[in-house]
Amino acid sequence: MLKLTYDTSLNIAQEAIKKGSELGLNPLAIVVLDDRASLRICLNQDGTSIHRHRVAHGKANAAMSLGMGSRSLGTRAEEQAYFVDAVGRLMDGDFIPVPGGVLIRNPEGAILGAVGISGDKSDNDEAAAVAAIESVGLVADTGS
């Protein structure tokens, strides 16, 4: 696969909702970005809080911006706080360096895009993203 198609993006988002339901998570917002960090899909379950989709976008956008999962960006924020803060400011705050932003790679390792999920604890958001990406035969890269 060279590009993240609409159908694959939609399948990833739907699989994330399915996984969230299986795990008993709070309502989720799921954002899928392509390799240009352009929005492919945004799904919000009934009951998500206001602006939850923006947090999901910020997680996915952070992963795409620096080419690493948002979990790794959180670790980097602890080690290089000024750098990560500067990048977040450069991106007008659309940069959330906590778990839940996962790169989507093809089996050869090329980045196809990213998934951002928000709604539950960040570790659970990330688990839903990983399961969703892997369910469509792609590789989830959390950066850990």
Q: Can you give the pLDDT of all 144 residues of the chain as single tens digits?
A: 679 999 999 999 999 999 999 999 999 999 999 999 999 999 999 999 999 999 999 999 999 999 999 898 888 889 999 999 999 999 998 999 999 999 999 999 999 999 999 999 999 999 999 999 999 999 999 987
Token pair 């910020």 is at which residue? 58
- Cα separation, 28 vs 64, in Å, equals 20
pTM for this prediction:
0.94
H helix runs in the chain, sequence order:
6-23, 52-66, 70-79, 81-90, 122-135
- Picking from 61, 30, 59, the residue whose alpha carbon sits closest to that of residue 45 is 30
Distance between CA atoms of residues 131 and 143, nearest Å: 15
Amino acid found at 102: V
Residue pLDDT, tens place only, 67-95: 999 898 888 889 999 999 999 999 998 99
With beta carbons less than 8 A apart as the criterion, state whether 115 and 60 touch.
yes
Fold for 6-141, please state it: Beta-Lactamase (3.30.450)
Tokens of 66: 């620096």
